[in-house]
Chain A
Amino acid sequence: MAILVIAEHDNTALKAATLNTVAAAQKIGGDIHLLVAGSNCSAAAQEAATLNGVSLVKVADAAHYQNQTAENLTALVIANAAGYSHILAPATTFGKNLAPRIAALLDVAQISEITGVESADTFVRPIYAGNALATVKSADQTKVITVRSTAFDAVNRENAAKIDSISPAADTAQSTLTNRELTKSERPELGAAKIIVSGGRGLGSGENYHTLLEPLADKLGAALGASRAAVDAGFVPNDYQVGQTGKIVAPQLYIAVGISGAIQHLAGMKESKVIVAINKDPDAPIFQVADYGLVADLFETVPALVAAV
């Protein structure tokens, strides 16, 4: 049994979720190959070879993999799928975009965002925004899976796996990237942060969000997140969103400021180790999941907290 893990990277470095995906592959068990498809991506391939559990890194280096479009990566994976019992990708926007396309061409089901491995064909995945956990068994010959990174601890980097070049598939030329604007930030990435400071509609405006929460995040070395309500109200861009329709996070400490705690928000953060809620409404549902709740006016509390930590 061999498992192909599709690495997410930016040609120079791996994205952290790749390490959690390899960890899920280890739980399934078998020979683990890591596919690095990119353009001038040897740095990412070298890094891939250091991941524990990986026996072989397959590198497809070609100009048309520069932006890793779903169309081109699917063609490459399909050409190299023979012999693999499982194909895994992280359940990030990258993996979610790609994995179903691969599964459909293999005529197999895709299993989304697994949080547990019961056996080589049986997996646990959240449904209904995490309000239920389904255990599903696949009857397909190849299992195509996306992995929720917060459910598996990242593998260490103490390995020196073999690196093989594979030939690229033809350019499908179906899709052209014309622009990519990544939010520039000195802060840690939401998915990888140990502490997250998150704001909701209670902040009242985008200006308040920035003036109140940024000093706190800076002081704690935290990432900034937001509820869907805050995103819908235009306080912050969508990539701040934590929840069923945004990012799923599980930091050591999650500080929810002015967030009521809608079901879809809780779905994205309730696996956090410690949750702090600051809200003036004592009946806000966020208090039902918070380890430490403070019923208070956030406009006074947050600056006081900045001063105290």
Chain B
Amino acid sequence: MKILVPVKRVVDYNVKVRVKADGTGVDLANVKMSMNPFDEIAIEEAVRLKEAGIATEVIAVSCGVAACQETLRTAMAIGADRGILVETDVDLQPLAVAKLLQALCAKEQPQIVICGKQAIDDDANQTGQMLAALQNWPQATFASKVVLANGKATVTREIDGGLETLEISLPAVVSTDLRLNEPRYATLPNIMKAKKKPLDTVKPADLGVDVTPRLTTLKVAEPAKRSAGIRVADVAELVNKLKNEAKVI
């Protein structure tokens, strides 16, 4: 069974982004970029399924600028067998990415696509569900446990207020939540090995996909700043303030 894992290159989660003064976006110049943390969990899960003898091949896909190659190399250092870069300078939105992945699914015929539940830049949380819809496949989002057996996936999902378990037929899309696994660190020998793994590059036009954005960003602004309040000396002062000043208890 082949597993396809989309990975996105995003601003590293430790970076505090700054809004550009002209309000056109956030400043990405000289900012550290990394693989989206949820995608790292997706790659780890796929590699574990291969190590368990359930999957035969793990294919990492990244859509975006040429530098996404680095993200694919990271995926291959964790254990993906090969990478596909869908290269474009267009600002890709989730629907466009889902269509690109749909075209790659037609070519590669994976039994399961494991993706991160959301990217930490646009916080959209859409691509996996959209791909499942376009493929008319079942979906299991926000997974904290995935078991594959007998052509089915049994997936425990993190939902508001608790957990639920779905049984879905394969092929399917699964999106990862935080507690699915803890991704390994890529070792130096594996990073070296990853450099020799195959990486194909295609263009959206080669896949016959129109990636024109549907949403236009009119402006990007800083949220209203919350000013720091005061320090209280002890519990008595705190309770007094909450009761008499803020009047919230």
Contact = CB atoms under 8 A, between A and B. Distances in A.
A127 B121 contact: yes
Interface string A120-131: 001000111111
Contact of A108 (B120, B139, B214, B217): B214
Contacts of A129: 120, 123
Contacts of A105: 133-134
B124 interface: yes
B232 A292 contact: yes
Interface in A68-109: 69-71, 74, 92-94, 96-105, 107-109
Interface stretch (B47-55, B64-72, B105-113, B234-242): B234-242
B166 interface: yes
Interface string B145-178: 0000000001001111111111111000000011
Contact residues of A: prevailing secondary structure: mixed
With a 10 A CB-CB cut-off, give which of B13, B134, B142, B160 has the most chain A CB atoms: B160
A12 interface: no
Nearest to A115: B223
Given A100-B130, A308-B235, 13 more contacts: A93-B157, A105-B133, A112-B124, A128-B123, A131-B26, A132-B19, A174-B168, A176-B167, A177-B164, A180-B162, A253-B246, A276-B238, A305-B239
Interface of B: 11, 13, 16-17, 19, 26, 93-95, 98, 118, 120-134, 137-142, 144, 154, 157-169, 177-179, 214-223, 226, 228-232, 234-236, 238-239, 241-242, 246, 248-249
27 contacts: A70-B132, A97-B141, A100-B94, A100-B128, A100-B129, A103-B130, A104-B98, A107-B95, A112-B123, A132-B17, A135-B217, A135-B220, A137-B215, A175-B138, A175-B167, A180-B162, A195-B249, A238-B178, A244-B123, A253-B246, A270-B226, A275-B229, A276-B242, A289-B228, A292-B242, A294-B231, A309-B239
